[in-house]
Structure 1
Amino acid sequence: MYNVMLVDDDYPVIELLSEHIAWSELGLNLMGSYENGWSAWEHARLAPPDILITDIGMPRMNGLELSARIKEVKADVRIAILSCHNEFQYAQQAMRLNVQDYLLKDALDPQELAELLLRFKRSIDEETQQGWERSRLTHLVDETRELRKEQRLKNFIHQPLLSSEQWQREWLEYGVLAQDNHCLPVIGYVEDFRIIKQRFASDQTLHFAIGNVLREVLHELKPEAVHIGYDVKTSLLLFTCKPGLKFNIYAEVSAGLQRIQSVLERVLKVRMSFVIGHPCDDPSSLKAVLNQLLGNEEQRFYLEPGQAVKAAFRDEEGQGHGDLFAYYDQASSELRDALLGEEACHATHQAIERWISFIRSNGYAPETVKDWLLKLLLDLKLKLQLLQSLSPSYTADTLHKEMVGMDSLNELRTWLIIHMDAMAQRLSSGFAGSRRAEVAEACKYVSLRLHQRITLDEVAGFLHLNSSYFSRMFKKETGVTFIEYVTRMKMERAKEQLRQTGRTVAEICEGLAYDNVSYFIKTFKANSGATPSEFRERS
């Protein structure tokens, strides 16, 4: 008896199919009905079904993702998709799933599904006699062909062009650079890659899913084009065009790219952006343009999701206007105040959007932007740890590794917002690790007023508490006196300014509301083990 899994977030559909199909009479066991892909996967990874009936669009994990994961643990599973539309031909190719059939929900008939289940049952019986091996072999041949094509492309791009005539013949095999035809290369980038890859069983599955959808769409498009995957995040499209002015090749290609974007987002929930190169008439010029496209890191960095633009190459000398780090202290202060203020998430989102817009308008070099944002986040996390007696949730090394794989400002923006939201949530749960709301409020009060003189009586009055009672409570909760806490916070702010600004020791002293520079230096040395000048030199 074969096991069947039924997955659909539409409860009436589950009820209809569960109750109106004579499962045992068909020689089948309905092992479970699930309302979302994730719940189904939790069970399937331990006991994968022989037959999967699943909807496409579901919360937490859609039907295509579920199918891909189950295929990883049981390659010969039979899959039927329940669909609300009749454009399944793209999804059918998308996941390399060998999906056997699909049913339209608006015309769903339990009897029709019962007949389909019987066909599945018979085919499983037949494939136990080596049929599946032959099917699998054909599938592997197709994959190998695509991998070989990708490797040949990489050889063409990265190895010396010893024989233009040989490569002319090589490209003719794919219909590229045929007689009297030019080639217009386009590079495509997967957006939000770190988030998208989590929805797929593996990088390889995502790579082939995108490739299959692209090839399916390109088959319908004019002008003709060839897709070659470069890596899991990058695709190359080679459009064939005729030289001359009879039609605008860029307009034709742009329309085709819009169609590709629409299908990718609908079928795989993947967004892709494109940069269009220049027409090439021989292997030498094609190689040069492909290398330019792949090396155009700056334009890719500032590409907005869903854009399809012409290639624009700039010298590194033209990158950015001025020094981004000159604005570091201002940005750090704005984000810190936003975190400590009311409606922290909303305020930090607004501050992040302002600075991302500022960076985009000035076009700073990508590596500079990454260094700036990483330092900004690390410093803010350090301040959070000073305010709260908590261990760091992310080390500098972890954050750096996360950032290395990010190719666009948009992805960095999303990454920064996620981390800032987490910090805002932690701050909202109370400062200094205290369970007492009064101590949390006192710590927040201090953090917002380090540029002022702060007294115990002042804060106690703000909290409507007796000064002696507040002093005892603060010491009990934090392990330090209130005055010691204020001093420690002021010294940490001083360290920050010594590291990040060119302000003199006297200016920093005045900015933290100390009247006497000698006393400030003495206090700083007692706190850090070095004078302010020594600390700055070490930093």
Structure 2
Amino acid sequence: MEDVNMKKSIIIIDDEMPSRESLKTFLAWENTDYYILREFDNGPEAIEFYNHNKVDIIITDIQMPTMDGLTLIKIVKSINKQQDIIVLSCHEKFSYAREAMRYGVNDYLIKDMLTEEDLLEALNKSNRQQEDLVVEKTPNTSLNLSIEKLLDEKDTFDCPPEVEAGYYVLFVIAFDVPMVTQDAMNCDMDFESIEKVRNALEVNLGITRERLAQKGNRQWVLLTEMNQVSSQLKYIYDSQSMATRVRKIISEMMFCDFTIGISRGFKGISDIIHRYEEASDACKYRVFLGENKNIFYNTVFTQMTNFNPNRLDEMIDKAHKYMEAGNLKAMLDTVESIYLEDIKGFMQYNYIRYVNARIISLLVDYIRRNDLSYGWVFGKDFIPLNELDDHNTIEEIIAWFSTIIKRIMEQNPSEEEQDYSLRVLQTIQLINKHYTEGIQLTDLSQRLGIHKVYLSRIFKEETGKNVTQYIQELKINDVKKMLTGANQSIQEIAETLNYSSPQQLSSVFKKETGMTPKAYKKLMFGKLVKASKLYS
């Protein structure tokens, strides 16, 4: 007989008996840290029991007779604000998910899409919010496997038999850093930060330093070694347990949210690049499944075949380009199409929150780079994120952004709205399209079929700048954006914007702004912190 004294208690509340029975057999509960204490088919009986018994986690449906799930959650939270609650429902309405999250539930799962990984992650998320975890070391070979080398397809890496016999799971750690909060200050993915985490992982978990590396923007990759697993549930449980330990260590040092994508387990390292792609893909789906979670590739593969997170990036990039070009109508149409994606329920709730943050970041960056007034655009001296949270429908959110975008454009009219001649307007359009490709005055004059001296003269007369200055200004604005946005190195920025070297970029940037790129980045983080405090 299992010892329940060391396990977390769960009560299930669902008016449908098949759903309760299904949940009772969904996991091999005896192999987890949880046990089902009681089950109820209605809210009032569950509340009566709750008032006289200790319950660690509540799993409840939404639509039930006598008392619906939202009412039950509200009553429970009035008794114990810290109570952990997981919603498990067949209802995918945005309004239900949004209201449940406002009441402070831990997760909102959909019955028809539920996987073992989902349920265990939701339970473990509740568990780690209740208490500090005991961090245990995990068995690792004494060999120093460099994950950086293993992921470099150009390298050939001969491994001893004991490495090939090992069983591994690969984590991709993607930092969910909002542009407008103080978390951005604490989540600078620099060399010093990753070194501190490497040391902590080695001391606390026995994971050698070489198994953690930075890969891409705001993304780390970690190779973990596990005991050979005998079942799917054992793999889920062991991987989830390790991810939770890793999360605890990083959270204590980085003070910001991040998503951990978890690959399928694998023996040996010959297939490691494929497993990295799995974990990386899992992270991308935080757009739909929610940020600051551990997401298994298995979950993505089973649930999310109809959704493409890359499409969202493409649409936001398109909206950004329209805004830079001053094409207000096209930008509004693009933003509207982003919000009207056919996504339901809690996935829609996560999607809307993610899109809100991305569009707000885009607008704030534009406002900052063009020296516009927060007061005029938002009607306040800070970014009123609470206004977005107060909207009940997608239509209201779209209308809010429409108002903000129109105010921005009123303060900063586009190039097309200026009184330029046709030739100068055509030149500006060409520059805006090709300035990162190294286009120069000679190229422009040849494309337009006019003499470069004449073009240079009329361009300076109408814009107040020569062509080189105009191009340089665009590139410097992009440098500013990249320094305060994604975590790109000076080398990467220089390559993107067609500078001959990082040194040339730094020299030009200092000449134009009076400070080095590093100093500018530090200054902007300081302003973000100030804006965050004003909002708070």
The TM tier, using the shorter chain, reads 0.3 to 0.5
Return the TM-score normalized by structure 2. 0.38
TM-score by length of 1: 0.38
Relative contact order, higher structure (CA 8 A, sep 6+): 2
